[in-house]
Amino acid sequence: MSASAEIQLIAVVVAVTCALPGVFLVLQRMSMMSDAISHAILPGIVIAFFITGDLSSPWIILGAAAGGLLTVALVELLRKTGLLKEDAAIGIVFPALFSVGVILIAQYAGDVHLDIDAVLLGELAFAPFDRIMVGGIDIGPRALVVMGVILAINLGFISVFFKELKLISFDRALAGALGFAPALLHYVLMGLVSVTAVGAFDAVGSILVVALMVAPPASAYLLTDGLKPMVVVSVLIGAASAISGYWLAHWLDASIAGAMASMTGVLFLTILITAPHRGLWSVRKRRSNQKLQFGRKMLVIHLYNHEGLPEAQQECRMDHLEDHLRWDHTFATRAIRSSLQNDYIKQQGPLLILTELGRDLARTSLVEF
Amino acid sequence: MIDLFSDLFNDYTLRTVALGSALLGITAGSLGGFALLRRQSLLGDAISHAALPGIAIAFLITGSKAPLVLILGAGIAGWIGAALISIVTTRTRIKYDSALGIMLSVFFGFGLVLLTYIQRQPDANQAGLNSFLFGQAAALVEQDVFVIFVIGTLVLLFMMVFWKEFKLLSFDSDFIGTLGFPVRLLDHLLTTLFVIAIVIGLQTVGVVLMSAMIIAPGAAARQWTDRLGRMIILAGIFGAISGVGGAITSSLIPALPTGPTIVLIVSIIVMISLLFAPNRGLVFRKIRDWQAGKRLRVDAVLVDLYTLASQHASAEYPHSERVLDVMSTISGPARRTLKVLNDLELAKPIDSTHWSLTPEGVLRAERVIERQFGGGS
C-alpha cells in the first residue's frame, strides 16, 4: 500500500474511532470533556514515559487513560463540593494537569522525542514510517494497528452496551432507578474517550481528537432522530472529513490534522445551513412561512369583521391595511399577494373582498383563536 | 529576597515579563469573574483557540508581526467564533457544549493549517507565530507590555462604565430586559470585552492555557465573597499575583516555562480558596458542621433529661446515663455530651452515673422544646 493510501486509511480509522464515543458525549452534553481529557492525558503520558522510557510501550496508553480518568474524577469531586459549576471545574482541572505535563517535559525530557507540539498537533504524514514488525514481517504502520485495536474495543463496547448507553444518554434517572449503574457506565465511557484520545494523539494530536469527537456527531444530530442512524451518519461524516482533509492538506502542503479538523468544520457548517427541518435555512423558511400564514389569517379575519359594514370602504382599502394591522409595507404586500394567490380574497378597485374560501378560513380561524 | 526585589526593578526582562503578566492577569481575572457568573467559563477556552486563525490571517495579509496587528486579527477571529457559538445554540438544537467544542477545535485546526502553510512559504518571516500556541512570556518586550497596558485599561474602563448593566446581565438577564435595557447589545459588548481580555494574553500564556487565566481567578475569588464588586477586584488581584508569581518563579528555575507556571500558581490559589475561604470553604464548612452537630447533641440530651424528669415530681430528678444512651437519637454514648452540659452548667452529676438538670438547664430545655414543637409543652 502506498504511503498516501496508508495515511488516508489511518485517518479514516481515527475518525471512526473518535466518532463512536463522540456520539454519546454530544448527547450527554459532555462534549467539552473530550477537550479536557485530550489535554489532561499529557501528564499521564509523560509519567508513564519516564517510568518505561519507551514511547511505544502499551503502558503509555494506560498512563494516559489514568490521566483522563483522573480529570473526570477531579471534575466530579470539585462539582460535588457545590462551590464550582461543572464547566468551571473542567476549565480549572485540565489546564492545571496540562501545565504539569508541559513543565515535566520542559524540565526532564528536553532531549528526547516527546515535544508538546507533537502531542497537541500531531503529524500524520510521518505515521507510515513507524511500522510494527512481528518476526521480521511488516504488519503495518503502528498508528494503524493501535487505532485498529482501539476501534475494535469501542465498537465492541458500544454494540454490547448499546441499550444501556442509550438509556443513560436520554434518561439517566430512569437508568439509575432500573439499576443500570449509570456512574459506572459513565466512567467506562470516559475511559474509552481517554484511550481513544491517547491512541489518536500520536497520529493526529489532541485538538483533532476534539474535532473528530464532537463535530461529526453534532452534524449527525442535525440530520437524524434515532440513535443508530446518528451513529452511522457520524461515522460517515467523520470518514468523509478524514479523506477530504487529507487532500486539502496535500493541496496546501499544510498540517493534515489541521486540515481534517477544518473539514469537519466545513461539513458541519454545510449541514448546519442546509439540513432539512433543522438547518438554519429551513428553520428560517419555516418561520417566514408561519409568519405569512398568520398574516393571511389576520387579513381575512380583518376583512370578515368589517364585511358589509359602512366602514368597510375605509377598513378594507388595500393601502390602509398597513395602518389597521400595523404591518410594514413589504409584509402587507406579501400577505396580500399570498392571499390573492390562495384565492382567499379578490381585488375590487382599491378594496379587498373576501371569497367564499376566505370567509371559511376566517370563520375556522376565529374558532381556533 | 532583596536580590529578587532589586531584580524586579532593575532586570529589564524580568520587569517586563512580570509587569505584562500582572496586567493581563488583572484584565483576564476581572472579566473572567463575569464569565464565571454567567456560566460561560469554557467560552474563554473556545475563544482563545478560535483566535489562532485570526493571528495567521493577520500575518498573511499584513506580513507584520506587530502586536497590535496580531491582536486585532485574533480579536476578530475570536469574536466570530463567539458569535457562531451564539447563533448555533440559539437557532438549532445543538447544545452549548457541542458548539464550544466544534468552534474550538475547528478554528484551531484551521489556524494550524494556516500556520503550517505560512511556515512552508519561502522566505516567510514567520518565526514567533508558534509562540502563540504555548505562549512565550520571556519574549515580551516593552512595546508588548505597553499594548497590553493600554488595551487592558480600556477594557477595565468599559467594564466600570457599564458596571450596573453587566451586573444585572450576569444575575438576571430577563429582568434587565424588562427594564428596557438592550440585552443583546450589552451581551455583545461584554463578549467583546471578554474576547479582548483573552487575546491580549495569548502571546504570554498561549492559546491552550489562556482559559485558565480566565476561569481560575474568578473561581477562587467567588469563594471569598458574595459581593460582585469585591469578587471582581479579588479576581483581578489573584490574576496579578499568579502573573507576577509565575514570571518570577520561572525566571528563578531554569527551563521552567512561564505560561504553565502561571497556570499552576493560579490553580494553587483556587485550591487554597476552596479549602480555606471563610463561610464557603470546605474546612470552614466542616467546622461549622461539627459545631452544629455538637449543638444538636447538646439539645437532644437536654430534652431527653427533661422528658424523663417530667415523669417525676421535680424537673431536676436525676437519671442514669444508660437510660440516656438508649433513649437518645444521637449517635455514640451520652456521656461526652453530658460533660459538655456540665461545663455549660446546664446539667450536673449526682453520682458517678446519674445526672440531673440544673435550673438553667430546665429553662433551656423548655426553650428548646418550644422552638422545636412551636410551644404547647
Among residues 309-368 of chain A, which lie with CB inside 8 Å of chain B?
A: none
B257 closest CB neighbour out of A88, A103, A217 = A103
Task: Give pLDDT tens digits for A6-60.
Answer: 889 999 999 999 999 999 999 999 999 999 998 888 888 888 888 887 777 778 8
Task: Give pLDDT tens digits for B80-99.
Answer: 999 999 999 998 999 999 99
Mean pLDDT (whole number) for B304-317: 80
Q: Looking at chain B, which residues constitute the CATH 1.10.10.10 domain(s)?
A: 284-373
Looking at beta carbons, which residues of chain B come within 8 Å of A91? 41-42, 44-45, 211-212, 214-216
Superfamily of domain B2-278: ABC transporter involved in vitamin B12 uptake, BtuC (1.10.3470.10)
Mean pLDDT of chain A: 87
Task: Give pLDDT tens digits for A26-37.
Answer: 999 999 999 999
Residue A23 in contact with residue A201, Cβ under 8 Å? no
Q: Say whether A103 and B260 touch across the interface (CB within 8 A).
A: yes
Q: Looking at chain B, which residues constitute the CATH 1.10.3470.10 domain(s)?
A: 2-278
Of B61, B69, B79, the C-alpha closest to B198 is: B79
Task: Give pLDDT tens digits for A87-145.
Answer: 999 999 999 999 998 888 888 766 555 555 666 666 777 777 777 777 777 778 888 88
A261 closest CB neighbour out of B109, B134, B264 = B109
The angle subtended at Cα A40 by Cα A38 and Cα A42, nearest 5°, is: 90
B109 closest CB neighbour out of A35, A253, A258 = A258
Q: Say whether A96 and B212 touch across the interface (CB within 8 A).
A: yes
Among residues 89-148 of chain B, which lie with CB inside 8 Å of chain A?
A: 91-102, 104-117, 120, 130, 133-134
Best residue of A29, A79, A83 to probe chain B, by most B CBs closer than 10 Å: A83
Residue B65 in contact with residue B75, Cβ under 8 Å? no
A29/B contact by beta carbon, under 8 A? yes
Which has more pLDDT, B300 or B10? B300
Is A110 exposed, middle or buried, given 0-12, 13-18 or 19+ CB atoms closer than 10 A? exposed
Best residue of B89, B112, B267 to probe chain A, by most A CBs closer than 10 Å: B112
Q: CA of B216: which chain A residue's CA is closest?
A: A92
Q: What is the pLDDT of residue B117?
A: 86
Domains and CATH numbers, chain A: 3-278 (1.10.3470.10), 284-368 (1.10.10.10)
Q: CA of A79: which chain B residue's CA is closest?
A: B274
In chain B the first and final C-alpha atoms are separated, in Å, by: 68
Looking at beta carbons, which residues of chain B come within 8 Å of A87? 39-42
Calculate the alpha carbon distances from B139 to A238, A349, B68, B180, B296 in Å.
Answer: 39, 78, 16, 47, 60
B256 closest CB neighbour out of A91, A100, A106 = A106
Question: Which ipTM value was assigned to this complex?
Answer: 0.88
Q: What is the pLDDT of residue B86?
A: 92
Q: CA of A207: which chain B residue's CA is closest?
A: B105
CATH class of B284-373: mainly alpha
Smallest CA–CA separation between B323 and chain A, in Å? 39
